[in-house]
Amino acid sequence: MASIIDIKEECALQVRNFDFTYKGASAPSLKKITMPIAKNSITALIGPSGCGKTTLLRSFNRMHDLYPGNKYEGEIEFDGRNILDPKEDLIHLRTRIGMIFQKPTAFPMSIYDNVAYGMRLQGIKNKSELDGRVEKALKDAAIWKEVSDRLKHDANGLSGGQQQRLCIARAIAVEPEVLLFDEPTSALDPISTQGIEKLVIELKERVSIIIVTHNMQQAARVSDYTGFMYLGDLIELGYTEELFVTPKEKLTQEYITGKFG
Amino acid sequence: MTAVQKRIFINKLALIFSTLSALIALAFLFWILGVLVMKGLSALNWNIFIYEGAPPGYEDSGLKHALVGQLILVGMATGVGVPFGILAGTYLSEYGKNSKLANTIRDISDIMMSAPSIVIGAFVYAIVVLPMGHFSAWAGAIALGIIMIPIILRTTDDMLQLVPGTLREAAFALGAPKYKVILSVVYRGAKAGILTGVLLGVARVAGETAPLLFTSFNDNFFTTDLNQAMPSLTVTMFNYATSPYEDWQQLGWAAAFILSMFILGLNIAGRLILLTRKKGK
Could you please report the per-residue DSSP string of B77-103? HHHHHHHHHHHHHHIIIIIITTSHHHH
Average pLDDT over residues A27-42: 95
Taking an 8 Å cut-off on Cβ atoms, the answer to whether B185 and A170 are in contact is: no
**Is the pLDDT assigned to residue B279 strictly greater than 80?**
no
Which residue, A221, A252, A246, A220, is CA-closest to A234? A252
**Is the pLDDT assigned to residue B175 strictly greater than 70?**
yes
CA B252 – CA A225 distance, rounded (Å): 81
Query: Within 10 Å of residue A122's Cβ, how many Cβ atoms?
Result: 14
Residue A158: DSSP 8-state:
S
- Which domain CATH number covers A203? 3.40.50.300
**Is the pLDDT assigned to residue B281 strictly greater than 50?**
no
List CB contacts of A27: < 8 A, sequence separation 6 or more.
A21
Residue A233: DSSP 8-state:
E
Q: What is the dihedral of CA A126, B183, A117, B192, to 10 degrees?
A: -110
Q: Does A22 touch chain B (CB under 8 A)?
A: no
pLDDT of residue B146: 95
In percent, the amount of chain A with pLDDT more than 90 equals 90
Which residue, A216, A220, A106, A203, is CA-closest to A160? A106
Question: Strand A225-230 and strand A42-46: pairing?
Answer: parallel
pLDDT of residue A1: 59
Q: What is the mean pLDDT of chain B?
A: 92
List CB contacts of A210: < 8 A, sequence separation 6 or more.
A13, A37, A42, A43, A44, A45, A57, A60, A178, A179, A180, A181
pLDDT of residue B68: 94
Q: Quick: pLDDT tens for B200-212.
A: 999 999 999 999 9
Taking an 8 Å cut-off on Cβ atoms, the answer to whether B175 and A167 are in contact is: no
pLDDT of residue B58: 85
Expressed as residue numbers, the domain containing A192 is 3-256
Residue in A66, A118, A154 closest to B174 by CB: A118
Distances (CA, A) of A98 to A174, B76, B137, B157, B269: 9, 46, 54, 29, 41
* Shortest Cα distance, chain B CAs vs residue A118, angstroms: 6
| Sign for the pseudo-dihedral over CA of B175, B179, B184, B186 | positive
Taking an 8 Å cut-off on Cβ atoms, the answer to whether B185 and A108 are in contact is: yes
In chain B, beta strands by DSSP E:
none
Name A226's bridge partners. A44, A238
Q: Quick: pLDDT tens for A48-74.
A: 999 999 999 999 999 999 999 999 999
Helix, strand, coil % over all residues of chain A, rounded to 5: 40, 25, 35
In a domain, A44, yes or no: yes
Q: Quick: pLDDT tens for A205-223.
A: 999 999 999 999 999 999 9
Predicted TM-score (pTM) of this structure: 0.85
Give me the interface pTM, i.e. the ipTM: 0.92
**Is the pLDDT assigned to residue A204 strictly greater than 80?**
yes
pLDDT of residue B222: 87
Q: Quick: pLDDT tens for A73-99.
A: 999 999 999 999 999 999 999 999 999
In a domain, A62, yes or no: yes
* Range of weakest confidence among A174-183, B7-16, B49-58, B186-195: B49-58
pLDDT of residue B169: 96
In a domain, A38, yes or no: yes
Q: Residues of B with CB below 8 A from A102's CB?
A: 166
Residue in A94, A154, A156 closest to B175 by CB: A94
Average pLDDT over residues A127-143: 94
List CB contacts of B123: < 8 A, sequence separation 6 or more.
B143, B146
In a domain, A261, yes or no: no
Task: Give the chain B residue nearest A170 (alpha carbons).
Answer: B174
* Shortest Cα distance, chain A CAs vs residue B267, angstroms: 25
Q: Quick: pLDDT tens for B157-174.
A: 999 999 999 999 999 999
Taking an 8 Å cut-off on Cβ atoms, the answer to whether A121 and B175 are in contact is: yes
The side-by-side arrangement of strands in the sheet containing A178-182 is A3-4, A233-239, A225-230, A42-46, A208-212, A178-182, A97-100
CA B247 – CA A27 distance, rounded (Å): 80
Q: Sorting pLDDT into bands at 50, 70 and 90, what band is B121?
A: very high
Half-sphere exposure of A220 (CA within 13 A, CB side): 9
Which residue, A253, A215, A245, A248, is CA-closest to A44? A215
Q: How many CB pairs under 8 A join A and B?
A: 69
Q: What is the mean pLDDT of chain A?
A: 94
Taking an 8 Å cut-off on Cβ atoms, the answer to whether A105 and B166 are in contact is: yes
Residue in A66, A109, A121 closest to B174 by CB: A121
In percent, the amount of chain B with pLDDT more than 90 equals 79
pLDDT of residue B276: 77
Cβ atoms A237, A7 nearer than 8 A = no
Average pLDDT over residues A173-189: 93
Q: Quick: pLDDT tens for A114-124.
A: 999 999 999 99
The tally of domains found in chain A comes to: 1
Q: Residues of B with CB below 8 A from A174's CB?
A: 174-175
Taking an 8 Å cut-off on Cβ atoms, the answer to whether A107 and B167 are in contact is: yes
pLDDT of residue A187: 86
Q: Sorting pLDDT into bands at 50, 70 and 90, what band is A7?
A: confident
> Which one of A117, A177, A180 makes the best mutation probe of the B interface by having the most chain B beta carbons within 10 Å?
A117
Task: Give the chain A residue nearest B173 (alpha carbons).
Answer: A94
